[in-house]
Chains A and B, each alone.
Chain A
Amino acid sequence: MTTVNINGVDTALDGPEDTTLLWAIRDIAGLTGTKFGCGAGLCGACTIHVDGVAVRSCQATVGEVAGKKVTTIEGLSADGDHPVQVAWRDINVPQCGFCQAGQIMQAASLLNENPNPSDQEILEGMEGNICRCGCYERITAAVKQASTGI
């Protein structure tokens, strides 16, 4: 049993400390917005924030985040109105939508660290997140919009 603060709530997670954080969040805490895509840190679908920084939850364990602040897509904003989420909707980014929670969490973390990224910094900052439907052009535009408010 490990207690982890998820989206502001101290949450008791049953099971060993080496339980993969992604599955603890999904199966044990019941927060299913965070997705499983590759299990190897290659696609970014499972991206969450640990103390405000983007982390691939399929590569972390419950033990590693004990006492830390975990934020999932469900906790990114109160009403889904984080500037990144708003930009995503303005630009109609998603197709199937499955990777988008991870993309949004990555973009939010990127803008948190670098509020005014250059185009190249956006592309490089989002490189770890795959979108098989191919929404990259709109993702890039949405990150840009969220950063500049344009």
Chain B
Amino acid sequence: MLHFLEEAIKAAPKKAVEKLIVAKASRRDFLAGATAAFAIGAYATNADAFARYKTGGDFMPGGVKYDPHTFISIAEDGQVTIVAHRSEMGTGSRTTLPMVVADEMGADWDRVTIVQAEGDEAKYGNQNTDGSRSLRHHIQSMRQMGASVSHMLAAAAAAKWGVDVSTVKVGVHEVTSGSNKAGFGELAADAMKQPVPEFEALSFKDEADFRYIGKGNVSITDLHDITTGKAIYGADVSLPGMKFAAIARPPVVGSSPLKYDASEAWATPGVENVMGLRITGLASAFSPKGGVAVIASNTDAAIKGRDALNIEWGESPHSGYNSEAFTAEMRATAKEPGQILRAEGDTVAAFAGAAKTFSKEYSQAHMAHAMMEPPVAVANVTNGACEIWAPVQSPGDCRAHVAGALGMDPANVKVNVTLLGGGFGRKSKHDFATEAAMLSKKIGAPVKVQWTREDDIQHSFYHTTSVERIEVALDAEDKVTGWRHNSVAPSILSTFAPDSGHQFFIESGMGHLDMPFEIPNISVENGKAMAHTRIGWFRAVSNIPRAWAIQSFASELAHDLGKDDVDMLMELIGSDRKLDPPNQGFPDNFWDYGEVYDEYPIDTMRLKNVLKLAADKGGWGRDMPEGEGLGIAVHRSFVTYTAACVHVKVVDGQVTVPEVHMAVDCGYAANPERIRSQMEGASVMGMTAALHSGVTFENGAAVEGNYNDYEMVRSTNYPLKTHTHIVEHPFSVHASGVGEPGLPPIPPAIANALFHATGVRKRDLPMGVDV
């Protein structure tokens, strides 16, 4: 996200394509024409097993790296160490990417150790763990590096035994040729001195020979540590002489302390210092909000001291932000024409000539991520250098911004990535790490900054609040001839650049412009809404309000026309085709998740396929008892297709969800076990978003503060059974991510099911648990 934001801020007319890096292996002098010689063992030829394709990874800062020396090492005892360069926040990328390497190189997973990379994108390539990109951008490089080492082991063995390399087979953690046999460890030193083959010189495993890839038989690498309390998250880092800090931040963005009385804070046992954390200008980008910090000998004292501060906060231009009034304002704006982003056909004529029109409006409140681990970071600034330990999604960006805040060369800033106790987009923003660095510099000792839950919910980079209004024109045969969708929501861009009140191409690319229905006249519009708090991104981002609106609307339209929901969706999606953005009124800067469109086109056949799959598996069309209903929704996000068929049952006046059937098409499924866990998790978080998640503002400040008023789905009312149905594909159907795409279909599927169960239609998120 950040990288694309920077692009948007620069508003550069140049296309990112110019920065395309053609991936090449590191040593070009390697055995030209040796491909055949390396077709070892049962490996398929290059073209059969792995045809290289282009991804947006090449356009990201740092790009994609292919040098196995950076990622893989083999010890004399055969233990293989693989670097995980993406942050682990629960999706399993820290396990899955190294697993791909291990399989392709022939390593035994039980003899693999994973080490986490520090933030260094020049070395490791892009590390910004965001946008469901880890697998999508890095599965090819992981396969390539694994295959490279396999070939290097074979070459070393051939040289050692004086045999032709074509006779050498790389098996599981061992290499053989005739009666010769050696373990990886014996060959390691010689193998790693071999030249790294070019991609074209490599042969790859046939998919049928994979032992881990596509199997789902590997547990996450941290499983034992997690279940025994040994796993290290941000707050678990401890340094000698470390101090503990809690910070009182301005409740309204842009406010600062006029004066404060710290006498009670000083009187708290364990408190050692109280100091202002001065931020110049409005808090923006990833800058901390400023405030007053309390430094203590332990976290308890720091928090108690912080809570004892008596601070008078100054006014801010945002002190008048009130959610209720703002939503009313957005509703009024949504009813007026907005800026037209996509114009296909002649929508004005379609509505003028319509037999009838039908319109509905859907809203969503702000959301905070509320990951179980609140923001936390440890920093140690000494002798002009800074070292950070923090649960950050983008250590490379964290490094650059901490360096900027301290006035340091980024070369002197080291960012160590701990496990993340959830991220969901919040930990892409490393304001907490910058706070720790600033305080450490100030007091000359290592500092841990711990956020409380209230800090997290009240000083978030919030998911935006929105009103989405959809209006269709219908002809006399009830066929939809015109589509107008006006999206009104404060933009993420406002956090990073002067606010125009309009959304930018990333937000528009998430379910708004790329609406896949086959309607001849389409107008995609954006009405103005100014931001009055820090707007950030939350798992699935703008796809949540767009799927909420479009998928609820389709169900409402079906009801109005006396049609079945699935039939209505199939009719709206229309023929099997790939959308053709340049000829369908899309703007030139249409953003297909940062990919080259032709590699990941919007494919209505795949969209309809997951819809049918979810409907079939969920038993769509069956008679439901009184108070129960099925609801369905389908959405493409992050180039993955998902559909959800949700069973809602009203029990004692409350919404419950006995069962969810998720259908997911993420191209090649590298780790089905973690795909399932992501779908199960999305099902739960989707239910929380549908029923509970709303942060509201009064006089500029967030009202909610903890899990009592910002509620989560709990064990007594969660989707009791989530079935995941994965569409199977060969490797040639590009793998895409699953961290985010499970979420968007859930809230509309719940609302649609609730409507079928009760006749009650909900159009505002959160809808509440009570019917």
**Residue positions of A touching B, CB distance < 8 A:** 15-16, 19-20, 22-24, 26-28, 30-40, 42-43, 45, 72-74, 76, 80, 85, 88-89, 92, 94-101, 104, 122-124, 126-140
Contact = CB atoms under 8 A, between A and B. Distances in A.
B721 interface: yes
B224 A127 contact: no
B718 A137 contact: yes
Nearest to A102: B372
A135 B299 contact: no
Given A89-B227, A96-B421, A130 B300 contact: no
Given A16-B269, A23-B298, A26-B235, A132 B370 contact: yes
A133 B452 CA distance: 19
Interface stretch (B29-37, B64-72, B678-686): B678-686
Contact of B682 (A94, A97, A134, A138): A134
Contact of A40 (B236, B681, B706): B706
A132 B685 contact: yes
Given A95-B681, A97-B226, A134-B718, 5 more contacts: A26-B299, A38-B707, A95-B678, A96-B420, A135-B677
Contacts of B716: 123-124, 127
A92 B684 contact: no
Interface stretch (B124-132, B170-178, B215-223, B511-519): B215-223
A15 B371 contact: no
The 10 closest A-B pairs by CB, nearest first: A33-B229, A134-B684, A98-B421, A96-B90, A73-B229, A95-B90, A23-B300, A97-B226, A134-B681, A32-B236
8 contacts: A23-B299, A39-B303, A43-B707, A74-B230, A128-B714, A130-B707, A135-B680, A136-B718
B453 A39 contact: yes
A30 B708 CA distance: 29
B190 interface: no
Contacts of A97: 90, 222, 226, 231, 419, 421
A123 B478 CA distance: 47
B720 interface: yes
Contacts, number: 189
A118 to B, nearest CB: 13
Contact of A138 (B224, B231, B680, B706): B680
Of A76, A89, A92, the most chain B CB neighbours within 10 A belong to A92
A96 B423 CA distance: 9
B206 interface: no
Contacts of A20: 300
A80 B421 contact: no
A129 B715 contact: yes
- Interface of A, secondary structure class, is loop
Nearest to B231: A97
Nearest to B242: A27
B703 interface: no
A60 to B, nearest CB: 12
A131 B718 CA distance: 11
A24 B270 CA distance: 12
Nearest to B300: A23
B374 interface: yes
A99 B372 contact: yes
Contacts of B412: none
Of B227, B232, B419, B424, the most chain A CB neighbours within 10 A belong to B227
B227 A132 contact: no
A95 B677 contact: yes
Given A35-B372, A95-B90, A97-B419, A27 B227 contact: no
Interface in B292-325: 298-301, 303
B718 A33 contact: no
Given A36-B235, A72-B229, A135-B680, A89 B224 contact: yes
Contact of A134 (B88, B244, B683): B683
Interface string B718-741: 111110000000000000000000
Given A96-B90, A96-B419, A139-B715, A88 B227 contact: yes
B248 to A, nearest CB: 15
> What's the interface size class on B, roughly?
35 or more
B450 interface: yes
A66 B575 CA distance: 72
A49 B510 CA distance: 46
A149 B299 CA distance: 40
Nearest to A85: B227
B712 interface: yes
A88 B226 CA distance: 10
A129 B713 CA distance: 10
B550 interface: no
B328 to A, nearest CB: 31
Contacts of A131: 372, 684
Nearest to B682: A134
Contacts of A89: 219, 223-224, 227
Given A40-B706, A89-B224, A35 B421 contact: yes
A43 to B, nearest CB: 6
Nearest to A128: B714
A136 B374 CA distance: 20
A100 B220 CA distance: 14
Contacts of B89: 96
Contact of A98 (B233, B450, B685): B233
A127 B716 CA distance: 6
B339 interface: no
Nearest to A97: B226
A132 B712 contact: yes
Given A38-B453, A39-B452, A80 B419 contact: no
Contacts of B424: 132
Given A35-B233, A38-B453, A130 B372 contact: yes
Nearest to A43: B707
Nearest to B681: A134
A133 B681 contact: yes
A137 B720 contact: yes
B88 to A, nearest CB: 8
B218 to A, nearest CB: 10
Interface in B227-251: 227-233, 235-236, 238, 244
B453 A40 contact: yes
A131 B453 CA distance: 14
Contact of B270 (A15, A33, A72): A15
B189 to A, nearest CB: 35
A27 B222 contact: no
A123 B716 CA distance: 5
Nearest to B718: A136
B207 interface: no
Contacts of B88: 96
A136 B715 CA distance: 6
B426 to A, nearest CB: 11
A100 B236 CA distance: 15
B673 interface: yes
Contact of A100 (B227, B298, B300): B227
B715 A101 contact: no
Of A20, A92, A134, A138, the most chain B CB neighbours within 10 A belong to A134
